[in-house]
Structure 1
């Protein structure tokens, strides 16, 4: 795989979680979250991005979101559950992305706010169409995702190095 080909990064926030009497890490999805996760998976499938790798936070709500979304995809990417994604800052998430092997062309990161939204803003040095405007208007609600494109190796990924090419959020 050539590093000259654009890479794709999908930044996917977990769907709406419930607030039962459990630790934050163990919070499950709410009923609305379960529905939105499947819808997000169908929308991601419609994007046509052939995902090679999924990096998912170990939190219950992110694992549940991914389990529901991945069933909608035509191809299941390799999934790695990564503790460092839980409560990660944009800089910490970039460090995780920098470790991806160069034979991976596209990745989805299933994580949490404010890190996922912050990472979308930090990485996107440019934007196509009205993607930035839509993301700015909607913020990054539960089950939303942003698609970024970048050139070069994963090790060279840094702030401003990507273009925001798509943004989607469930209707409220």
Structure 2
């Protein structure tokens, strides 16, 4: 892959989780979360982005979200379950994405708030259409995702360097 081609980054928040008496890391999806994860997967597939890699938090709710969403894809990307995504700050998520090899063109990162929303707010220097307004109005609810492009290598990702291309969130 050439670094001259824009890279795509999708930040995808896990779907609605249940609140059983288990540790936070082990919380499963709620019934609504399972439905929303599949719908989000269809919407992600509709973007037509050929994902090379999925980086997914090791938390139960993110793994379940990804398992349901990826079933909607025409081709399953390589998936890496990454402990560093759980409870990560926006800066820690940027550092993780900076580690991506240049042969990875398109990444979906499945994680948690507040890190995902914080990252979605700081990396775009520009936005297409009304994506920024829609994201600003809705925030980053469960099962929402935002699509960004990045010119250059993964090491170039920092606040203000990406373009927000699209934003989607399920209806309440």
TM range (shorter): over 0.9
Mapping for residues 34-73 of structure 1, pairs under 5 Å: 34-73=34-73
Partner of 2:138: 138
RMSD between superposed Cα atoms in Å:
0.4
Q: Kindly report structure 1 stretches of 4+ aligned residues shifted beyond 6 Å.
A: none
Mapping for residues 147-166 of structure 1, pairs under 5 Å: 147-166=147-166
Ranges in structure 2 where 5+ consecutive residues have no aligned partner: none
Size of the aligned set, in residue pairs, is 172
- Give distance in 1, aligned partners of 2:41 and 2:23: 26
How far is 1:157 from its partner? 1.0
Partner of 1:15: 15
Ranges in structure 1 where 5+ consecutive residues have no aligned partner: none
Q: TM-score, normalised by structure 2?
A: 0.99
How far is 1:110 from its partner? 0.1
Secondary structure of residue in 1 paired with 2:149? strand
Secondary structure of residue in 1 paired with 2:137? helix
Q: What are the superposed Cα offsets for residues 71-115 of structure 1, whole Å, 9 maximum, x if unpaired?
A: 000110000000000000000000000011100000000000010
Secondary structure of residue in 1 paired with 2:61? helix
- Give distance in 2, aligned partners of 1:7 and 1:153: 8
- Give distance in 2, aligned partners of 1:151 and 1:161: 8
Mapping for residues 124-135 of structure 1, pairs under 5 Å: 124-135=124-135
Q: TM-score, normalised by structure 1?
A: 0.99
Secondary structure of residue in 1 paired with 2:41? helix
How far is 1:39 from its partner? 0.2
